Structure 1
Amino acid sequence: MEFKDKQAIYLQIADYICEQILLGKWPPGERIPSVRDLAAMIEVNPNTVMRTYEFLQGKEIIFNKRGIGYSADEKASEKILDYKKERFLATELPEFFKNIYLLGIDINELHTRYERFVEEMYPLTK
């Protein structure tokens, strides 16, 4: 796994786990890789994976069944979307707003480009 400098590694691992859950590779209620297995898969220290699992447990995205291991929560997809939306609105959107302000981009132009993007990239959803 390639890690970026801008974000803590445990959060990048959390994003990876969330992606696997959303893609259906790790379905709700079924076991996800153990701390050691995931650490070996992505080549990080098991303590980093443990920190990630504790973080995701705090968000109620995964849970630990004693003696069985970690599993995705039944409502993991909803909780992931809520978490990602909250993080986007709190961290990425302010940076985006700063850039459009500094570049003098009009909100109407932004709206037009957004509509065009949705039409081109997701034509069947409208």
Structure 2
Amino acid sequence: MDFKASKPIYMQIVEFCFQKILTSEWVEDERIPSVRELGGMLQVNPNTAMRAFEYMQSEEVIYPKRGMGYFVSVDARKQISKLQKKEFFDETLPETFQAMNLLGITIEEVVDRYEKSKK
């Protein structure tokens, strides 16, 4: 995995895991790779992988089963969607609006492009 300097590595691991869940590679109520397995797969320190797991557990995307590992929560996809929407509105959209202002792009131009992309 190629990591970007603009975002903490553990959050990039979280995004990687979110994609696995959203694409149904990791499904609800099934075990996911362990912290060590994921750390080895992504070539990161297990402590960094653990931080990603702690974040996902705090957001109720995964849950632990004692002695068995971590599992995908039943509402994981819904939780991920909620988290990604919040990130979009809090971070991505303000940056987009700033770029639009700098480039003189109107909201009407964006809406027009959006409508064309749906066809």
The TM-score normalised by the length of structure 1 is: 0.92
Cα distance in 2 for residues equivalent to 1:39 and 1:118: 39
The residue number in structure 2 matching 1:67 is 67
User: Shift of residue 5 of structure 1?
Assistant: 1.0
The residue number in structure 1 matching 2:95 is 95
Cα distance in 2 for residues equivalent to 1:106 and 1:40: 46
Q: Between Structure 1 and Structure 2, how many residues are aligned?
A: 119
Cα distance in 2 for residues equivalent to 1:81 and 1:55: 15
% identical aligned pairs: 44
- Superposed CA deviations along residues 62-87 of structure 1, whole A, max 9, x for unmatched, are 01111110011000000000000001
User: Shift of residue 118 of structure 1?
Assistant: 2.1
Counterpart of 1:52 in 2: which secondary structure? Answer: helix
The residue number in structure 2 matching 1:48 is 48
User: Shift of residue 102 of structure 1?
Assistant: 1.1
Code of the aligned partner of 1:28: E
Counterpart of 2:118 in 1: which secondary structure? Answer: helix
Cα distance in 1 for residues equivalent to 2:9 and 2:80: 18
Runs of 4 or more, structure 1, over 3 Å off, are none
Where does 1:1-126 land on structure 2 (aligned, <5 Å)? 1-119=1-119
Code of the aligned partner of 1:108: E
- Superposed CA deviations along residues 30-82 of structure 1, whole A, max 9, x for unmatched, are 00000000000010000000000000011100011111100110000000000
Counterpart of 2:24 in 1: which secondary structure? Answer: coil
- Residue segments in structure 1 that go unaligned for 5+ positions in a row: 120-126
User: Shift of residue 117 of structure 1?
Assistant: 1.5
- Residue segments in structure 2 that go unaligned for 5+ positions in a row: none
Cα distance in 1 for residues equivalent to 2:73 and 2:103: 42
- Give the root-mean-square deviation of aligned CA atoms: 0.6
The TM-score normalised by the length of structure 2 is: 0.98
